[in-house]
């Protein structure tokens, strides 16, 4: 929230305009879930785009507070809780993630809710139901979340089956069931709104773009254009090196060849052929592994927040539906070249390195079975998130930073807990009591 306040307006991405439009117009986008748009519509109350930011920050605060308290066996003093929250918001990128009018913040909320839901020892507790409802909300808010949750829960389910942990088996099965249900729900929603019975009407565009980014498309076209004469073959030597240019630019090969929809059948054929040909399939697997590793370590906040002017979707839809806020949007630092994240990134990297070093020093005293399980879950989730993002989309910082901040936050909680208990024990020692008297 602090980052948005400093900016003078909630931060926006290019997709923000689409979310605003789909929510206010109650339309279903062909390439994304409609639910974050509905979240913006409901929470903004047609009054202000600050209200969705406040709403997602309140939900984040609720879950983070519960997560912090879960590590303390007794009542946690409010000053210690406040200290932990201040450290997390000051020295991790969560303040940036929460400041964007985007569904990214819900990925971190999803991870925290899962970490609260899985170890809950009571089978049918009220808190467990609340966490599951929050998990459900987070799953439906973005297309990638269902696959990340299903893959993560499947891996933990294997562990639960080996250890015969009935509660873990039930809870991971529940998360898988919710993810699968959402997958089919989106199919029906799209079919009912003219987008066809598919999870995403434009999924073929993103996959072809992935082939272009990784060099697979150029490789495939070089091998096949002499025989199959695809429309895009005329531009096989002009494939842009970055995904967003290939996907969106008016000068990209798909648009110069007549547009995406004009040759949809050809693109779907290429996708089918790539995955059914060992040479290209193996190359895709290799590239997926490499790009996943790249995504895993790409978790910085933006060095420069992109300017979105009058020709952009965010500007257009803010002016159309929240006209009284267009002045604040135009004058925001993001749109005037005065909002950079380089310095923040340095602080975040240094803080993370220091917290890891302190944990390694304190390792034997802090690593209980429960803590090890929590760290394992966080690391698995980060790996799954990186794999899903890099394999089916592209490598950009916000896809990993949206969840990475949970790791230094966890480090912070454990370090403060250790120091707090050490200080409390010292206060309770006989020698200290004598000094006080």
Supply the pLDDT for residue 305: 81
Supply the pLDDT for residue 243: 86
Question: Which residues, at least 6 apart from 72, have a Cβ–Cβ distance to it below 8 Å?
Answer: 417
Task: Report the C-alpha gap between 306 and 302 in whole angstroms.
Answer: 9
Helices 203-214 & 278-296 angle (0-180, nearest 10): 90
Length of the chain: 437
Supply the pLDDT for residue 307: 86
Return the sign of the alpha-carbon dihedral for residues 39, 40, 41, 44: positive
CA dihedral 362, 364, 370, 372 (to 10 degrees): 80
CA dihedral 17, 390, 398, 317 (to 10 degrees): 0
Residue ranges, the chain, pLDDT below 50: 433-437
Task: Report the C-alpha gap between 301 and 287 in whole angstroms.
Answer: 24
Q: CA nearest 110: which of 64, 74, 42, 79? A: 64
DSSP secondary structure of 197-216: SSS-TTHHHHHHHHHHHHTH
Task: Report the C-alpha gap between 22 and 312 in whole angstroms.
Answer: 16
The DSSP bridge partners found for residue 100 are 11
Q: What six digits make up the tokens of 402?
A: 């949206």
Supply the pLDDT for residue 430: 61
pLDDT tens figures, 324-337? 999 999 999 998 88
Supply the pLDDT for residue 434: 47
Residue given tokens 């918001």 in the structure block:
89
Supply the pLDDT for residue 175: 98
Supply the pLDDT for residue 245: 87
Supply the pLDDT for residue 436: 38
194 Rama sector, left if φ>0, alpha if ψ -120 to 50, beta otherwise: left
Task: Report the C-alpha gap between 123 and 176 in whole angstroms.
Answer: 17
Is there a contact between 317 and 21 (Cβ–Cβ < 8 Å)? yes
Displacement of CA 138 from its chain's centroid (Å): 10
Give per-residue burial for 273-304: e unless 16+ CB within 10 Å, then b: ebeeeeebeebbeebbeebbeebbebbbbbee
pLDDT tens figures, 78-131? 999 999 999 999 999 999 999 999 999 999 999 999 999 998 666 568 899 999
As a whole number of Å, the end-to-end CA separation of the chain is 45
If DSSP codes are grouped into helix, strand and coil, which group holds residue 304? strand
If DSSP codes are grouped into helix, strand and coil, which group holds residue 340? strand
Other Cβ atoms closer than 10 A to 69:
14
Is there a contact between 350 and 121 (Cβ–Cβ < 8 Å)? no
């Amino acid at each position: 929230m602090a980052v948005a306040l400093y900016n003078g307006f909630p931060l926006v991405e290019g997709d923000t305009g689409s979310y605003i439009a789909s929510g206010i117009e109650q339309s279903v986008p062909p390439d994304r879930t409609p639910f974050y748009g509905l979240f913006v519509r409901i929470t903004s109350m047609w009054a202000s785009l600050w209200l969705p930011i406040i709403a997602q920050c309140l939900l984040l605060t609720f879950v983070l507070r519960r997560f912090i308290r879960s590590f303390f066996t007794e009542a946690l003093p409010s000053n210690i809780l406040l200290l932990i929250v201040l450290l997390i918001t000051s020295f991790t990128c969560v303040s940036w993630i929460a400041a964007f009018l985007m569904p990214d913040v819900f990925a971190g909320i999803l991870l925290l809710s899962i970490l609260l839901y899985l170890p809950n020892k009571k089978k049918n507790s009220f808190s467990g139901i609340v966490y599951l409802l929050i998990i459900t909300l987070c799953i439906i808010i973005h297309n990638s979340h269902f696959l990340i949750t299903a893959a993560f829960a499947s891996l933990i389910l294997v562990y639960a089956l080996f250890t015969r942990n009935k509660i873990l088996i039930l809870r991971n099965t529940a998360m898988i069931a919710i993810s699968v249900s959402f997958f089919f729900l989106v199919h029906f929603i799209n079919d009912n709104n003219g987008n066809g019975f598919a999870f995403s009407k434009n999924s073929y565009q993103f996959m072809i773009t992935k082939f272009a980014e990784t060099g697979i498309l150029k490789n495939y076209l070089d091998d096949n254009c002499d025989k199959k004469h695809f429309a895009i073959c005329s531009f096989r030597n002009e494939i842009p090196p970055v995904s967003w240019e290939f996907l969106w630019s008016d000068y990209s090969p798909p648009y110069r060849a007549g547009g995406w929809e004009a040759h949809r059948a050809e693109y779907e054929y290429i996708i089918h052929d790539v995955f059914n040909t060992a040479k290209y399939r193996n190359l895709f697997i290799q590239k997926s592994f490499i790009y996943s590793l790249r995504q895993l370590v790409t978790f910085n906040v933006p060095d420069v927040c992109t300017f979105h002017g009058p020709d952009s979707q965010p500007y257009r839809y803010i002016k159309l539906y929240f006209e009284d806020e267009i002045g604040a949007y135009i004058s925001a630092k993001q749109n005037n070249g005065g909002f950079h994240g380089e310095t923040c990134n340095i602080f975040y990297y240094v803080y993370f390195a220091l917290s890891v070093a302190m944990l390694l020093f304190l390792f034997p005293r802090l690593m209980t079975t429960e803590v090890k399980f929590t760290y394992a879950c966080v690391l698995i989730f980060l790996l799954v998130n990186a794999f899903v993002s890099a394999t089916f989309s592209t490598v950009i910082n916000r896809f990993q930073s949206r969840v990475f901040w949970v790791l230094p936050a966890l480090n912070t909680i454990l370090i403060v807990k250790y120091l707090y208990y050490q200080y409390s024990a010292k206060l309770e020692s006989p020698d200290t009591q004598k000094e006080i008297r």
